[in-house]
Amino acid sequence: MTTDPNLLLLERIRWGMNVCDSEHQPIGRVVKVYRAATYGAPPPAASPTEIEPYLEVERAGSGTRLFVPIGSLSDVTGDCVVLNITWDQVDRMGWEQRPDYLQDPPGEG
């Protein structure tokens, strides 16, 4: 049985952790983890067949939110979620737009 390394990283992420770029420059902090994102019923036609877990990150300084797919993480240290890109690449990723298929679990919002 193989375990997805990204899911192992996900297990180490906590609310409020710092999020840093690949050079350990601060980006923001984790405000929500979408571990098992759901489509709702019925799923939108443009939705992928599987939803990768996401982190919702409050960006330092601006308070804007980023929706970071777990595939963009390279490591989780004791105090920081480390991305696999540099700080200057973050703005080009389109993470400011919350994916339509991400929905809060029942009881959250």
Average of per-residue pLDDT values in the chain: 82
Contact 57, 89 (CB under 8 A): no
pLDDT of residue 55: 94
Contact 102, 44 (CB under 8 A): no
Q: Find, among 55, 57, 56, 37, the residue nearest to 47 by Cα.
A: 37
Contact 90, 27 (CB under 8 A): yes
Asked if residue 49 has pLDDT above 80, the reply is no
pLDDT tens-digit map of 54-106? 999 999 888 899 999 998 999 999 889 999 999 999 999 999 999 877 776 55
Could you tell me the pLDDT band of residue 37, with boundaries at 50, 70 and 90? low
Q: What is the pTM of this model?
A: 0.79
Cα–Cα distance, 13 to 80 (Å, whole number): 9
Could you tell me the pLDDT band of residue 43, with boundaries at 50, 70 and 90? low
